[in-house]
Amino acid sequence: MRNTTSALPVYKNWVSLKLVIVPGVLALGTAVLTAFYSWLMIFPAIFLLMVLYFVYARYLFSPKGKNIQAELHSMLIEEIEWDGKGKALDIGCGNGALAIRLAKKYPEASVAGIEYRGFSEALCKQNAEIEGVSERVSFKKGSIISLPFEDDEFDLVVSNLTFHEVNDLRDRRELMEEAFRVLKGGGVFVFQDLFLAKKMFGNLDPMLNKLSGWGAKSVEFINLSESERIPNILMTPFMVGTIGIIKGNV
């Protein structure tokens, strides 16, 4: 059923507001201290530049700006090679944006989304209702380290810019092994993340070899770090300058 109201969905901005607030507070604090320590004058300027950068980044990611958030979802969806029949899972669904887009693209599929941090089931359901796919999308709060799903439950598993945010796991690559557990034989996976960040995921080739050892029958890496679809100002190491897609099937 299509939405007939004028309501708009509410999706979380990938650039956290905390990235604006923290340097803003530091800028004010160090500005006060310069009255006593003149050598600190450079720091308010640095923190102010950080505020301006992240404010602009939030604008670029928002629907009112360049909607880079939706563009990244499109880049992931374009790499999915699936007939659209069966069950799909979005790991780290946020407020449901990607899961809902999958449901709209694949009308014969049911889609599940899982999130832990900042999860609001009510908001996810509201967005799905507004987008007209509420009957085929479900959302659950749970750990992505130990997914609350059965083995071989899904035909498609996707994740967008989620794995790198998990800090309570020594090896983030194991998140993909857990994703494979819930994926049926022959199922498709497409993960988009900061896979070129060696401190987070290690070297690329050993990581891809690990995926093969965990049951992936085909694995492909797509380097998006020079994509013209993403503004250069966002292609920094602390934003999406190390982004790429890992796709394949098990």
79 within some domain: yes
- Indicate whether 32 and 75 sit together in one domain: no
- Indicate whether 161 and 204 sit together in one domain: yes
Q: Is the pLDDT of residue 5 over 70?
A: no
Task: Determine the Cα angle at 99 with ends 174 and 90, to 5°.
Answer: 10
Structural domain total, the chain: 2
225 within some domain: yes
- Indicate whether 175 and 76 sit together in one domain: yes
pLDDT tens-digit series, residues 24-40: 999 999 999 998 988 88
Other CB atoms closer than 10 Å to residue 222's CB: what's the count?
A: 16
Other CB atoms closer than 10 Å to residue 210's CB: what's the count?
A: 17
In whole angstroms, give the CA distance from residue 249 to residue 212: 10
**Residue 170 has what pLDDT?**
87
- Indicate whether 91 and 211 sit together in one domain: yes
Q: By CB neighbour count within 10 A (0-12 exposed, 13-18 middle, 19+ buried), where does 242 fall? A: buried
Q: Which pTM does this prediction carry?
A: 0.91
- Indicate whether 140 and 81 sit together in one domain: yes
7 within some domain: no
- Indicate whether 34 and 141 sit together in one domain: no
Q: What is the mean pLDDT of residues 69-83?
A: 97
183 or 4, greater pLDDT: 183
Confidence of residue 55 (pLDDT cuts 50, 70, 90): very high
Q: What single DSSP character describes residue 147?
A: -
- Indicate whether 118 and 171 sit together in one domain: yes
**Residue 132 has what pLDDT?**
96
pLDDT tens-digit series, residues 209-245: 999 999 999 999 999 999 999 999 999 998 999 999 9
Q: Is the pLDDT of residue 4 over 50?
A: no
Confidence of residue 3 (pLDDT cuts 50, 70, 90): low
pLDDT tens-digit series, residues 11-25: 989 999 999 999 999
Q: Report which secondary-structure segment, H or E, holds 223.
A: strand 218-223
181 within some domain: yes
Q: Do 148 and 142 meet the contact criterion of CB atoms below 8 Å apart?
A: yes
pLDDT tens-digit series, residues 159-189: 999 999 998 888 999 999 999 999 999 999 9
Other CB atoms closer than 10 Å to residue 195's CB: what's the count?
A: 27
Confidence of residue 1 (pLDDT cuts 50, 70, 90): very low
pLDDT tens-digit series, residues 126-163: 999 999 999 999 999 999 999 999 999 999 999 999 99
- Indicate whether 98 and 206 sit together in one domain: yes
- Indicate whether 195 and 156 sit together in one domain: yes
Residue where one domain finishes, among candidates 61, 96, 114: 61
Domain limits at 77?
68-249
- Indicate whether 47 and 144 sit together in one domain: no
